[in-house]
C-alpha cells in the first residue's frame, strides 16, 4: 500500500502487554488456579509478585532465560500442588489468552495506521500467549512482524532484539521508525539504545525516569492516533 506523506514514520513498533492489550495477571491467575481447585486471593497474588517481579528484572537484564523465569515463578505453587512448574506456567498463559482484550483505542489506532505505515510488535512476553492472543482478537493481520524475546534469546531493552527486528524490516532508516510502549525501562530505553524514535504510552501519569527521554509521550491510544494521523 502507498504510504501517506503526512506520517513521519515508515514503521511503528508496539509493545504488547499494557500497550495494545490489557494484561490482568491477577484475573488470569485466579482463572488458572480455579482449574486446580485453588481459591487464589490477593495475598496469594502479592506472594506471587514478590517472586515474579525480581525475575522479570533479571530477565530484562539478561541474567536469566525466558524458560527460567517461567518455571521459577511457579516453583512454590508447583511444590504445594505437586505439579510441574511448566504445567502451571502453560495453564497460566492459556488463561491469559482466554481473558485477553485490546486496550481502549487499540483497534481504532491500528485501523487508522493501516496502509500509512508498516506495523510490528516487539514483546518480552512469551510465545505461547502472543500468537494465540493475536488470533483470538483478530488483530494479527495488522502486523508485518512479530518479534518475541523468548524466540530471539534477547529481551528489551537490549538493542540486540531491536537489531533483529530491523533486519526483518529490511533495515529502514532508523529516523523513520517509532517504538511505542508503556515501560520506560524496556520499551523506551530499548528504542533509544537502538537509535530509533520512541513514544511512551504513559497511561498513569508517571514521572519520566531519570536518564530516559522519550521523543513523544501520550496518555491514551486515541492521543497517539491523533499525534500520528492528524
61 is catalytic: no
Amino acid 63: pLDDT: 96
The half-sphere exposure of 81 on its side-chain side, counting CA atoms within 13 A, is 20
Based on the domain organization, do 91 and 114 belong to the same domain?
Answer: no
Domain count, the chain: 2
Say which CATH number the domain at 59 has: 1.10.150
Q: What is the DSSP letter of 91?
A: H
The pLDDT of residue 2 is above 50? no
Mean pLDDT over 44-60 rounds to 97
> pLDDT confidence of 195, banded at 50, 70, 90?
very high
| pTM, 2 dp | 0.93
Based on the domain organization, do 51 and 74 belong to the same domain?
Answer: yes
The pLDDT of residue 3 is above 50? no
Based on the domain organization, do 63 and 174 belong to the same domain?
Answer: no
The range of the structural domain enclosing residue 67 comes to 25-99
Out of 15, 17, 158, 182, the active site residue is 15
Residue 3 belongs to a domain: no
The pLDDT of residue 7 is above 90? no
CA distance 56 to 66: 9
* Residue of 139, 91, 133 lying closest to 114 (CA atoms): 139
Residue 141 C-alpha cell reads as 493481520
Amino acid at each position: 500500500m502507498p504510504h501517506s506523506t503526512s506520517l513521519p514514520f515508515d514503521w511503528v513498533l508496539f509493545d504488547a502487554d499494557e500497550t495494545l492489550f490489557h494484561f490482568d495477571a491477577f484475573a488470569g491467575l485466579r482463572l488458572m488456579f480455579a482449574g486446580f481447585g485453588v481459591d487464589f486471593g490477593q495475598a496469594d497474588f502479592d506472594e506471587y509478585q514478590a517472586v515474579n517481579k525480581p525475575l522479570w528484572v533479571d530477565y530484562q537484564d539478561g541474567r536469566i532465560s525466558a524458560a527460567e523465569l517461567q518455571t521459577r515463578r511457579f516453583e512454590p505453587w508447583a511444590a504445594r500442588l505437586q505439579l510441574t512448574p511448566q504445567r502451571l506456567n502453560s495453564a497460566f498463559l492459556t488463561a491469559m489468552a482466554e481473558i485477553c482484550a485490546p486496550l481502549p483505542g487499540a483497534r481504532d489506532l491500528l485501523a487508522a495506521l493501516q496502509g500509512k505505515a508498516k506495523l510490528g510488535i516487539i514483546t518480552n512476553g512469551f510465545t505461547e500467549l502472543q500468537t494465540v492472543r493475536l488470533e483470538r482478537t483478530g488483530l494479527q493481520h495488522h502486523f508485518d512482524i512479530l518479534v518475541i524475546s523468548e524466540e530471539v534469546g534477547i529481551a528489551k531493552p537490549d538493542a540486540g532484539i531491536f537489531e533483529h527486528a530491523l533486519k526483518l524490516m529490511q533495515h529502514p532508516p532508523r529516523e523513520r521508525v517509532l517504538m511505542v510502549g508503556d515501560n520506560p525501562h524496556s520499551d523506551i530505553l530499548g528504542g533509544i539504545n537502538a537509535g530509533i524514535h520512541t513514544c511512551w504510552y504513559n497511561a498513569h501519569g508517571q514521572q519520566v525516569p531519570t536518564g530516559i527521554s522519550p521523543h513523544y509521550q501520550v496518555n491514551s491510544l486515541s492521543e497517539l492516533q491523533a499525534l500520528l494521523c492528524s
